[in-house]
Amino acid sequence: MLPTPKEFADAVFGHERVSLLDGGLPKWLEEGRPVESGPIDIVQKSYKVPTLNTALVRHYNDIRKNIDNGNDSLNFEQVLDARPEPRFTGDASEPRPGLPSGHMPYSISVPFNSIIDPNTNKTLLNDDELKKLFKSKNVDLEKPIVLSCGSGVTATMLYTALEKIGAKKLAVYDGSWTEYAGKEGSPIVGRK
């Protein structure tokens, strides 16, 4: 299973032990692993007050500053867009009415489904295949990477894949394309 917004939020809010099922419940069941059904007893538990790990989140102003500084800036962060390629290029409409398609200047298209093993349609590609994919997109795993998508959900899938292969400087642009393209004056490449 790939990360959900809640799982990413758990890490953002200080939960250090977050686990994912690569392949999700369907794979778990296919492997004959144990499951339970029926009522459960929940024991109330106290948790520490969450604190925001701001290093894992980018906002609109961060993205605009990154674009304005240009990709040859020393502090440039690579922005990977997880939306389907036709929405990135501007060849397909966005599903949100009134929102243009296209992409942020300097961003790189890495559609979320490209990290899924086509033979299983459930699990992530193996590490070598993931490294090959990101290398083919000229993504430098040693440099800062910001993940974006339509609304900040599928970006967490790329986050997980990159973390799995050793990328350390990762963040998610929470507002993603919905916020970015919705703001007047945002530079857009391939606008449709």
Contacts of 52 (CB under 8 A, 6+ apart): 12, 13, 14
Given 67, 139, 145, 149, which residue is catalytic? 149
DSSP state of 158: H
For the sheet containing 78-81, what is the strand order?
Answer: 57-58, 170-173, 145-148, 78-81, 108-109
Rg (CA), the chain: 18
User: How many Cα atoms are found within 13 Å in the side-chain-facing hemisphere of 36?
Assistant: 4
Catalytic, 149? Answer: yes
User: What does the alpha-carbon distance between residue 138 and residue 117 come to, in Å, rounded to a whole number?
Assistant: 20
Displacement of CA 58 from its chain's centroid (Å): 12
User: What does the alpha-carbon distance between residue 87 and residue 192 come to, in Å, rounded to a whole number?
Assistant: 9
**Residues forming the active site:** 149
